[in-house]
């Protein structure tokens, strides 16, 4: 291994920069050159790429987003697009590819590997934490902390005349952010796509909380479970409570990466380089039970991990 390529793909996640930094520094430590590929597979096809050195990753460890930018590329889903990317592999002398992203990005990497034989290693970078083969994905901890920060602030403003707050968080198919942030933030109810819910039950709980003297209630809604604005409207109709809605949107992706995400990113990025050095391919690095491990991409792709039922039950018990 004398030269590797690295790209970030799909939705960006805070900590991706820490991972790029680890890839570059680990590679340079072992005398390997690094080609940084911009805008995910789009830049890979369009040769928007170039060498990286220690200076390229100076002072990025604490920046959200990704200095390599990211994109979703339709062309890379076609054999023609991938053939163009392969031309760039040859042109830039890349002997292995590290793809930081999520399920869709890994699919592209795996197909690319099968078609063109180039070694690929995936690094799970997505705020949803729904990738098989790893307990945590890069960006999840920061996203959860961003939501919890919003809950903290909303708690402060709780007053007798504004009783119910609905906060819509990210998660089209995954309730992980809502569940973790709801448990950490002490939400009264957590609505996630994985578990059916009934707004009338939620309203009964609100009403009994008020009777018991509760000054305010916070309801977290994953975007894949319901629209925060709709939930707010219905609660208002069912209870008469003044219900305020917050939609956090993309601010969840950003922000200074948490220490946890940075350490995870450093460990996974360094391991990805090691795997390429050892001649591995078609694998994803992940952390399981605290250890950095590698899993075949075939066992990862299309097999999103599910939420923890234990945590869901715990959140329910603690929100009495």
Residues 16-35 that bind its own copies (CB under 8 A): 18, 21-22, 25-26, 28-29
Strands 291-296 and 283-288: antiparallel
Within 209-228, which residues bind its own copies (CB under 8 A)? 212-215
Retrieve residue 96's tokens: 């292995």
Catalytic residue among 12, 128, 141, 261: 128
135 is catalytic: no
CB-nearer residue toward its own copies: 144 or 206: 144
Within 176-215, which residues bind its own copies (CB under 8 A)? 180-181, 183-186, 212-215
Q: What span, in angstroms and rounded, lies between the C-alpha atoms of 190 and 47?
A: 45
Retrieve residue 219's tokens: 């309801």
Task: Write each residue from 55 to 94 as x if it is in contact with its own copies (CB under 8 A), else as -, in one continuous string.
Answer: x--xx-xxxxxx--xxxx----------------------
The verdict on 236 binding its own copies (CB under 8 A) reads no
Q: Is 111 annotated as a binding residue?
A: no
The β-bridge partners of 244 are 165
Among 4, 39, 225, 239, binds its own copies (CB under 8 A): 39
Within 251-310, which residues bind its own copies (CB under 8 A)? 251-256, 258-260, 262-263, 266-267, 270, 288-290
Q: Is 212 annotated as a binding residue?
A: yes
Within 153-172, which residues bind its own copies (CB under 8 A)? 153-162, 165
The verdict on 318 binding its own copies (CB under 8 A) reads yes
For CA atoms 247, 253, 259, 264, the dihedral sign is positive
Contacts of 162 (CB under 8 A, 6+ apart): 216, 242, 244
The verdict on 98 binding its own copies (CB under 8 A) reads no
In three state form, how does the secondary structure of 157-210 look?
Answer: CCECCECEEEEEECCCCCCHHHHHHHHHHCCCEEECCCCCCCHHHHHHHHHHHH
Q: Is 24 annotated as a binding residue?
A: yes
Within 104-133, which residues bind its own copies (CB under 8 A)? none
Among 207, 210, 238, 247, binds its own copies (CB under 8 A): 247
Q: Are 124 and 104 in contact (CB under 8 A)?
A: no
Among 46, 135, 230, 280, binds its own copies (CB under 8 A): 135
Binding site, annotated residues? 11, 21-25, 72-73, 102-105, 126-128, 155, 163, 170-172, 186-188, 212, 214-216, 223, 244, 250-253
Binding site, annotated residues for substrate? 126-128, 163, 170-172, 223, 244, 250-253
Binding site, annotated residues for ATP? 11, 72-73, 102-105
């Amino acid at each position: 291994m004398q030269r590797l390529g690295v790209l970030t793909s799909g939705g960006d996640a805070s900590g991706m920069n820490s991972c790029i930094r680890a890839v570059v520094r680990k590679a340079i430590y072992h005398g390997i050159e690094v080609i940084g590929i911009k805008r995910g597979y789009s830049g890979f096809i369009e040769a928007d790429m170039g060498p990286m050195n220690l200076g390229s990753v100076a002072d990025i460890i604490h920046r959200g987003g990704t200095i390599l930018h990211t994109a979703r590329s339709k062309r890379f889903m076609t054999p023609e697009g991938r053939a163009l990317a392969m031309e760039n592999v040859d042109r830039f002398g890349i002997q292995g590819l590290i793809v930081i992203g999520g399920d869709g990005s890994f699919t592209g990497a795996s197909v690319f590997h099968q078609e063109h034989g180039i070694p690929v290693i995936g690094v799970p970078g997505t705020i949803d934490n729904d990738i098989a083969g790893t307990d945590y994905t890069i960006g999840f901890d920061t996203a959860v902390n961003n939501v919890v920060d919003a809950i903290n602030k909303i708690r402060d403003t709780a007053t007798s005349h504004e009783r119910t707050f609905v906060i819509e968080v990210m998660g089209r198919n995954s309730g992980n952010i809502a569940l973790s942030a709801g448990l950490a933030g002490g939400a009264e109810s957590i609505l996630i796509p994985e578990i059916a819910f009934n707004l009338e039950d939620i309203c009964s709980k609100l009403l009994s909380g008020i009777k018991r003297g509760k000054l305010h209630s916070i309801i977290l809604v994953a975007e894949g479970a319901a629209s925060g604005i709709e939930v707010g409207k219905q609660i208002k109709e069912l209870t008469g409570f003044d219900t305020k809605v917050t939609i956090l949107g993309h601010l969840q992706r950003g922000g200074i990466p948490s220490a946890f995400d940075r350490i995870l990113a450093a460990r996974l990025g360094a391991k990805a380089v090691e795997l390429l050095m050892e001649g591995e391919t078609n694998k994803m690095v992940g952390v399981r039970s605290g250890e950095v491990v590698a899993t075949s991409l075939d066992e990862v792709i299309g097999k999103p991990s599910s939420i923890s039922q234990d945590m869901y039950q715990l959140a329910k018990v603690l929100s009495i």
